[in-house]
Each structure stands twice: as structure tokens, then as C-alpha cells.
Structure 1
């Protein structure tokens, strides 16, 4: 009887692991898309900066608390 309980518990763990792996794969794909987008934007900004009359606007930054 103990062996059956162990088998059931292991099957549950495998199912949970499969779900977690699926979530991790989806997260990885989203992260890759974001990195690719940022790389493209960086490349475009660098090209604009090297243009004869660069039209690049600096966005305002949020104030940072003083470092103590």
C-alpha cells in the first residue's frame, strides 16, 4: 500500500513539474521577444544618432532619492 501512495505522489509531482516547465517556456519566449524588441530599438536609436541632424528626444527621468 505504501508503494501505491508513493507512485501517486510521484505522478502528482511529475504533473506539477510539467506545468511549471510549460510556464517557464512561455516566460522564456516572452523574454526573448522583449530582448529582440529592445535590441531593434537600440539599433534604430544609434542609427538616428549617427545621422547628420539627429532627431532624438531625451525622455524626462524620475527623480531618484539621494544616496546616503
Structure 2
């Protein structure tokens, strides 16, 4: 009888472990998404702002 109780207890622990693994995998995916988003935002904030330069134009003769 003691062996049956141990088997039941082990099966319950295994089921709980499986559920915890499912939750951890889900949490890991969410954390990876957040880290990727924050990395992208950090890059955007630390990259120098591109300088827009106005190119000189040729003077046009007056129309008229």
C-alpha cells in the first residue's frame, strides 16, 4: 500500500512540474520579446540622429 501512495505522489509532482514548465516556457517567450523590444529602443535612442544637409542648387534665371 505504501508503494501505491508513493506512485500517486510522484505522478502528482510530475504533473505539477509539467505545468510549471509550460508556464516557464511562456514566460521565457514573453521576456525574449520584451528584451528584443528594449534593445531596439535603446539602439534608436543611442544612435546618432542623422544630419539632413541641404544641397546647393544652381541659380535659375528669372522667369518673365
Residue 38 of structure 2 corresponds to residue 42 of structure 1:
no
| TM-score calculated relative to the size of structure 2 | 0.73
Question: Which is greater in Rg?
Answer: 2
| TM-score calculated relative to the size of structure 1 | 0.69
CA RMSD of aligned residues (A): 1.3
Structure number with greater CO (CA < 8 Å, separation at least 6) is: 1
Residue 21 of structure 2 corresponds to residue 5 of structure 1:
no
Consecutive unaligned residues of structure 1, counting only runs of 5 or more, are 54-68
Q: Which residue of 2 aligns with 1:33?
A: 33
Q: Measure how far apart 1:41 and its partner are.
A: 0.6
- Per-residue deviation, residues 2-22 of structure 1 (Å, max 9, x unmatched): 100100000000000000011
Count how many residue pairs are aligned between Structure 1 and Structure 2.
Answer: 51
